[in-house]
Amino acid sequence: MSKSKLAVSLFILSEANFFALLIIAYLYFHAYPGEGPTAATSLNAYRTGIFSIFLFASSATMMLASRSYRAKSSAAFGWLIATLVLGGIFLFGQVREYMELYASGVTANRSLFATTFFTLTGFHGLHVAVGLLAIAAITILTGVGTLGTSAREADAFGSVEIYWHFVDGVWVVIFTIVYLWAFL
């Protein structure tokens, strides 16, 4: 493994632990709910599920982008754009969800569910946003043709890819726990 891929993997290890702890806090108050809004009363798993599909799809397009990039094919640029769009749609969905929750009075201080929900999904959203910025950077570099295929450049590409898959993977866990489990 290259230097930067190793570093990103270690970083992801740490991030995974970070999310695990936020999830534990969420689960704790899911098990001992207080008063106020809960997952069951405030969330729309169906709609978030659809937006999630966009995120999962973006992982696939990222993989395709990376494959084309390694094959030195110009299709990489297109796949990257697709990834950006799909990730953007997911983020848009999250912003909409937040706005609706806010409008219906579910704010971070309303209940323990709300606090832990917003911290957990908020931090995930932040990670998606950071990931999109990184992807945007390599997209531009690919687009203007400055991103070559030297080992270092390939590493940069690979690192962003690992990170993006991680952000995606975390969402699988969060979505299952927060949205699906809440309605079991």
In the complex, the residues that contact other proteins under the rule CB under 8 A are 3, 6-7, 10-11, 13-15, 17-18, 21-22, 25, 28-29, 32-35, 108-109, 111-112, 114-116, 118-119, 123
Shortest Cβ distance from residue 56 to other proteins (Å)?
25
Cα angle at 146 between 67 and 155, to 5 degrees?
45
Pick 12 or 55: Cβ nearer other proteins = 12
DSSP 11-60: HHHHHHHHHHHHHHHHHHHHHS--SS--HHHH--HHHHHHHHHHHHHHHH
Distances in Å between the Cα of 61 and the Cα atoms of 71, 80, 83, 107, 129 are: 15, 7, 6, 34, 17
Shortest Cβ distance from residue 163 to other proteins (Å)?
13
Question: Is residue 54 within 8 Å of residue 89, measured between CB atoms?
Answer: yes
Shortest Cβ distance from residue 119 to other proteins (Å)?
6
Shortest Cβ distance from residue 36 to other proteins (Å)?
8
Pick 119 or 141: Cβ nearer other proteins = 119
Pick 35 or 46: Cβ nearer other proteins = 35
